[in-house]
Every structure is written in C-alpha cells, then in structure tokens.
Amino acid sequence: PLVTTKNLLLDAQNGHYAVGAFNIENMEMAQAVIQAGEESHSPLIIQTTPSTLKYASPSLFFSIVQSLAASSNIPVAMHLDHGASFDQCCQVIQAGYTSVMIDGSKLSFEENIQITKKVVETADCCSIPVEAELGTVGGKEDTHEVQDKDALYTNPERAKEFVERTGISSLAVAIGTAHGFYKGIPKLDFARLAQIQEIVSIPLVLHGASGVPDDAVRQSISLGICKVNFATELRAHFTDACRKILVDPDVIDPKKYGAAGRDAVKEFVKERILVCGSDGKV
Ligand code: 13P
Ligand code: ZN
Ligand code: NA
C-alpha cells in the first residue's frame, strides 16, 4: 500500500537500517523498483525530481506509483525530491504525493528556515512529512550545479537549531557525497555525521549515493542515516540495458528494450536494498 515516509523512517531508525529512495523517470523504472521491493520484502521510497516532473506531470507519476503500490503488499511512499518551491510542494501534495523535500540549501540559513517552516506548516495539515537540507551536496542535481570546492558540509550545531526551528521530519546532511558519479573514491566525513547524530534526533538522509562504496553506505547507516537516495545509477542501468538491445536495427517494439531496462533496474535495486539492510523488514 501507499504510505507516508513518517513511520517508514522511524521504523528504520529504531531498527538500525535505511530505506532506499529510488528516483524514477518512467513507468518501467517504477515497476522495477516495486518488484525489487516485493521480492526483497522491503519498504521503499519512490521519488521524482523537479526536472522529471517537467517531463511528465506529478499526477501522472503519482497514478503509476499509486496503482502499483495499491496492488502490492509492501509499504511504498511517493516523495518529491529536491522540491524547488513552496508552490511545488503544494502541487505534488494535491496530486497525492505522501512525502516532500523542500531544498532551501542554496539559500541563507535564515531563508532556508523560513521556506522550510512554511512548507512544514502547510504539509502538517495533510499529515505529510517534510525533508529539508542543510549544507550542500556536491555535483549536479537537476539543473543546479554545485562546485565541489563550494560544497559546504552540514554544521552539527546549526543542524540541531534548524531541526528545532522548522519542525521537519527528516534532515538531508552534506558529509562529502555528491550527485552523479565520482572522479575518485568519495571521502565521507563520518566524524561529522556522528556529531550530527548525537545532537539531532530525527532520521537523517544521505543524498548522492550513486558511486559511494557499499561499506561507506553501511557505515553511514550505522551513524544515523535512515534514507539513502539513488538516482544516477538507476538511469545508467536502465539506459545501458536499452542500448544493448537497440544495437539491433530490427528492434522496433518499445516493449523489447523497455523490459530489458526494467530487468536491469530491478536487479540493481535488489542489491541496493541489501546494502540498506531493509530486506525482510515487511
Ligand atoms: P545520485 O544521483 O548520486 O544517486 O544522487 C541521488 C540523489 O541524491 C537524489 O536526490
Ligand atoms: Zn539529492
Ligand atoms: Na553520487
């Protein structure tokens, strides 16, 4: 069934595992993620970014996920990833989304608090949990490019104040991950994450997990990460599998390469679920 991220993340926090949050771009990717969750008996979060919501509407993506979730025996939440504005958060909630992120990380601390608080107050009315971000995840997410050298890590004291003043349900932290793939092996600031976890009691979120070694993901989960976001690797696996089929010029049926992409994403998501430790939890 369709659920909010509230209890998914609190259960993960209590059980010391994380729920994978998987970015989808089409119906096949939605099917793949939910099939992987069913076969692994794992809770799931499916999410779309603002650029994905320009490709097709929130209500269209929501209809696909709702239909799949309704006939599934695992809990599935539908989340707005990197929500860009108050209006956008309201729009997806009206479309049926059960969770939103407002990303004010590019704003000043006070402006970030203001916009986040406003989203929390409104989302609260429909019992929709809100994720927000403090500090900057590196790399490119959607159209917004962050220079690695400008990427500011989350300050633990600031994080505590931010959570208290906004009333958010989960906090995305910047500890050295970046969106997309990495040039070398990313170095995560685990000491900082441990400090954040010590003084912030709500579930923490890791962005930019594509390209992060499995051990580093596991270690961050042991330090309070309850939601891990995977986007780029799903797109890469989908497209690589399609491309292999499409080298044959006789292929004309979209079902043929769509099914290959879907299978590849499903296998990848099953592996990520094992790294998150959410298998067998439902
Ligand atoms: P990756 O593209 O590195 O997996 O990052 C995912 C993410 O943080 C989506 O918000
Ligand atoms: Zn992200
Ligand atoms: Na990444």
CATH number, domain with residue 147: 3.20.20.70
Answer whether residue 281 is part of any domain.
no
Do residues 15 and 225 make contact, with C-beta atoms less than 8 angstroms apart?
no
- What is the distance in A from the centroid of ligand 2 to the CA of 194? 20
State yes or no: pLDDT of 4 exceeds 70.
yes
If one counts the domains in the chain, the total is: 1
Residues with CB under 5 A from ligand 3 (ion): 208, 210-211
Query: What average pLDDT does range 110-114 have in this prediction?
Result: 98
State yes or no: pLDDT of 145 exceeds 80.
no
Question: What atom of ligand 1 comes closest to residue 21's alpha carbon?
Answer: 9
Residue nearest to ligand 1 atom 1, measured at CA: 208
Closest CA relative to residue 234, chosen from 256, 204, 211? 211
Buried b (16+ CB within 10 A) or exposed e, 114-148: ebbbebbebbeeeebbbbbbbbbbbbebbebebee
Query: What average pLDDT does range 73-79 have in this prediction?
Result: 98
User: Does ipTM surpass 0.90 in this model?
Assistant: yes
Answer whether residue 55 is part of any domain.
yes
Query: What average pLDDT does range 90-97 have in this prediction?
Result: 98
State yes or no: pLDDT of 12 exceeds 50.
yes
Answer whether residue 112 is part of any domain.
yes
pLDDT, tens only, 237-250: 999 999 999 999 99
Answer whether residue 195 is part of any domain.
yes
Burial class (CB in 10 A: 0-12, 13-18, 19+), 12: buried
Answer whether residue 282 is part of any domain.
no
Query: What average pLDDT does range 39-57 have in this prediction?
Result: 98
Pocket of ligand 1 from Cβ distances under 6 Å: 23, 81-82, 141, 179-180, 207-210, 229-233
Choosing from 99, 101, 144, 210 the residue with most ligand 1 atoms within 8 A of its CB, the one to mutate for a pocket test is 210
Answer whether residue 35 is part of any domain.
yes
- Tokens at residue 112, please? 């970030």
Buried b (16+ CB within 10 A) or exposed e, 248-261: eeeeeeeeebbbbb
Active site residue 253: no
C-alpha pair distances (Å), 219 with each of 11, 157, 211, 231: 18, 22, 15, 20
Choosing from 140, 173, 179, 237 the residue with most ligand 1 atoms within 8 A of its CB, the one to mutate for a pocket test is 179
- What is the distance in A from the centroid of ligand 1 to the CA of 250? 35
Mean pLDDT, the chain, integer: 96
pLDDT, tens only, 171-229: 999 999 999 999 999 999 999 999 999 999 999 999 999 999 999 999 999 999 999 99
Answer whether residue 191 is part of any domain.
yes
State yes or no: pLDDT of 148 exceeds 60.
no
Answer whether residue 83 is part of any domain.
yes
Do residues 148 and 138 make contact, with C-beta atoms less than 8 angstroms apart?
yes
User: Which structural domain, as residue segments, surrounds residue 224?
Assistant: 5-276
